[in-house]
Amino acid sequence: MALAFIAVLATFAATATALYGPHTEVVDLSSANFRNRVVDSDEVWIVEFFAPWCGHCQSFAPEYIKAAAALKGVVKVGAVDADKDKSLAGQYGVRGFPTVKIFGANKNSPTDFNGARTAEGVASAGLQELKKVVDQRLGKKTSSGGSKGKSDVVELDESNFEELVLDSEDLWLVEFFAPWCGHCKNLAPHWEKAATELKGKVKLGAVDATVHQGLASKYGVKGFPTIKFFPSGKKDSSSAEEYNGGRTADDIVHWALEKAADAAPPPELHQVTKAKVLQDACENNQLCVVSVLPHIYDCQSECRNGYLDVLRRLGDKFRRNRWGWVWAEALAQPKLEEARGESVGFGLPGRWRC
């Protein structure tokens, strides 16, 4: 039985590392290097968020590797193990695998890749984004600069509301408006701007309540504009919440991101077994909570699990802050304890420090 279990673990580990390795042009990305390599760079990036156990990811991998080779020196191609780096995946609203995002001119608003999952499809999307960046640098007007460019606000009605909003895993802000309403006209450019800035995190939609009166009535719309928030996961009409934020783009974005933070999974609690664990968990966070727990000789499994439960509850409570959370066993990481100016050692079963 033990040998079989080890064999299963070995198979799983092999699958995890077999998707993309150093022999491919796909760059390994994580929280530790994502900002430096992707967000702060001038290059166009295509980034896949995958899970090693995902069958669709495994099927897509050969095509993605082929696309990376074709785009070498032109567009960067990377991959994030979202199963291992849940915080980074959560930051970009990843809720299924594989999710591919394109980081172009505006790195803070990546676009979702919805093309064919083939090498040609990925390469074509990368080249299109590259052309947009070049055109922008040349001062050419893109579609968004025209009088009627493509909008990031999704037009909603009775035919698509259930499928796009209620049955999706996405968070939604939906505006019910009337074309003749002056306040709605004032809100429109802010709504458009917020939709672009929130792309990939929270979706923004709009319903013409004068045309789709049944939909407006269902959600208790009595004035314009009325904005409703729909949380992630499968929902119904009772799931809608009133939007109570301001009406500027900044207000809308701030309010929506707070809701997205509330919906994000709690941060992972990592045991420090080597320096890289500490670096990966803490390097890109404004604060890192480091706990040194009593040695296992002083605090058996039930005692240890009690402390870990407390830390997980604290992580959940302060999830909005996006702190790093790590712990180490007393005496296991002496350099870490020395850096914090303490030594826990043995004989302290009832003490722990954060």
Q: For residue range 315-348, what is the model confidence (pLDDT) as tens digits?
A: 777 776 678 888 888 877 777 666 655 444 444 3
In sequence order, the β-bridge partners of residue 177 are 208
Structure tokens, 329: 């066993």
Residue 299 among the catalytic residues: no
Question: Dihedral of the CA atoms 207, 213, 219, 220 (nearest 10)?
Answer: 120
Element (H, E) at 329: strand 324-329
What confidence score (pLDDT) does residue 279 get? 81
Residue 282 among the catalytic residues: no
Between 266 and 98, the higher pLDDT residue: 98
Q: Which amino acid is at 249?
A: A
| DSSP assignment letter at 353 | B
Are 156 and 165 in contact, with CB atoms under 8 Å apart?
yes
Residue 181 among the catalytic residues: yes
**The CATH number fitting domain 154-263, selected from 3.40.30.10, 3.40.50.2000, 3.30.390.30, 3.40.47.10:** 3.40.30.10
Q: Which residue has the tokens 């050419």?
A: 140
Mean pLDDT for the chain overall: 83
What confidence score (pLDDT) does residue 339 get? 63
**The CATH number fitting domain 2-142, selected from 3.40.50.1100, 3.40.50.960, 3.50.50.60, 3.40.30.10:** 3.40.30.10
Q: Which residue has the tokens 């002496």?
A: 334
Structure tokens, 29: 């990305």
Mean pLDDT of 244-259: 92
Structure tokens, 84: 């291992």
Q: Is the pLDDT of residue 12 over 80?
A: no
**Closest by Cα among 291, 344, 287, 345 to 313:** 291
Question: Can you give the residue ranges of every domain in the chain?
Answer: 2-142, 154-263, 269-339
Mean pLDDT of 131-144: 74
Are 70 and 119 in contact, with CB atoms under 8 Å apart?
yes
Residue 303 among the catalytic residues: no
What confidence score (pLDDT) does residue 187 get? 95
Phi and psi dihedrals of 247, rounded to 5?
-115, 20
